[in-house]
């Protein structure tokens, strides 16, 4: 079953997502998307993987963060504070509505860093998957903001498409993507592209080095997008294998 889901935020606006549910599933995988991404993700990775999971009797849920995709708000309204608030609300939704299923977090790029942060906050979540986790996302956002000219609101137009706000720039200073991850005792799968230029291997390896129960898989020659069919096959296959072992 695939169902459209809406959650009302504290400000009254709505984030939107898809629930792909199998009645016999013992797991529900929450997917957190990347910076400038959405609930479908680059190359349709989240949509595609949710279909793989459904065929294997595993439920999943994926939302657009506030200011992204089909959710309310504009990209300029999106900050690291709203991102963390949304992630918490999604986890609570899953806990309330799927108490018979174990929650697994899966994050891609920025979503990978968010997954690590939420795992620290929720040690009861015992399994997480990180696809190219952008532990460097805070520095990336800072660099974008500092390098671009500012408009009258103090915001920047990033890559001619996305208005990144001064509030986003100010919000990132409150966070550390790696903080506390060395205390997380759950099982971690990290998948990384060897030729990723956005999130280089040394960035994702830091997550691996911080925790005792992690498996690190490098996909040869893969970039950040896992664009080749054989790269996607490895990405999905290894992630599914990890889930089936839970």
Number of H helices, E strands in the chain: 7, 10
Specify the pTM. Answer: 0.98
- Select the more confidently predicted residue: 212 or 29: 29
- Pairing assessment for the beta strands 162-164 and 214-219 based on DSSP bridges: unpaired
In order of 140, 177, 224, 243, the CA distances from 145 in angstroms are 9, 19, 22, 38
Q: What would the mean pLDDT of 64-83 be, rounded to a whole number?
A: 98
CATH number of 2-241: 3.40.449.10, 1.10.3660.10, 3.40.50.1820, 3.50.50.60? 3.40.50.1820
Domain ranges of the chain: 2-241
pLDDT in tens, 211-235: 999 999 999 999 999 999 999 999 9
């Amino acid at each position: 079953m695939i169902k459209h889901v809406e959650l009302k935020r504290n400000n009254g606006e709505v984030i939107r997502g898809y629930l792909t549910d199998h009645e016999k599933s013992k797991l529900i995988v929450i997917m957190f998307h990347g910076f400038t991404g959405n609930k479908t993700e680059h190359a349709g990775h989240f949509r595609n993987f949710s279909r793989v999971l459904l065929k294997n009797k595993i439920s999943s849920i994926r939302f657009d963060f506030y200011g992204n995709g089909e959710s309310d708000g504009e990209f300029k309204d999106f900050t690291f504070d709203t991102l963390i608030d949304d992630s918490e609300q999604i986890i609570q939704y899953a806990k309330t509505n799927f108490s018979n299923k174990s929650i697994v977090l899966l994050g891609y790029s920025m979503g990978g860093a968010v997954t690590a942060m939420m795992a620290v906050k929720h040690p009861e979540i015992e399994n997480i998957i990180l696809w190219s986790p952008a532990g460097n996302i805070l520095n990336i956002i800072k660099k974008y903001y500092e390098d671009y000219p500012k408009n009258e609101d103090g915001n920047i137009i990033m890559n001619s498409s996305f208005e990144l706000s001064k509030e986003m720039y100010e919000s990132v200073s409150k966070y550390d993507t790696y903080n506390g991850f060395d205390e997380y005792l759950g099982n971690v799968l990290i998948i990384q592209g060897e030729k990723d230029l956005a999130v280089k291997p040394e960035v994702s390896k830091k997550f691996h080095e911080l925790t005792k129960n992690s498996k690190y898989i490098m996909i040869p020659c893969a970039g950040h997008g896992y664009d080749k069919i054989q790269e996607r096959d490895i990405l999905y296959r290894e992630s599914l294998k990890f889930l089936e072992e839970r």
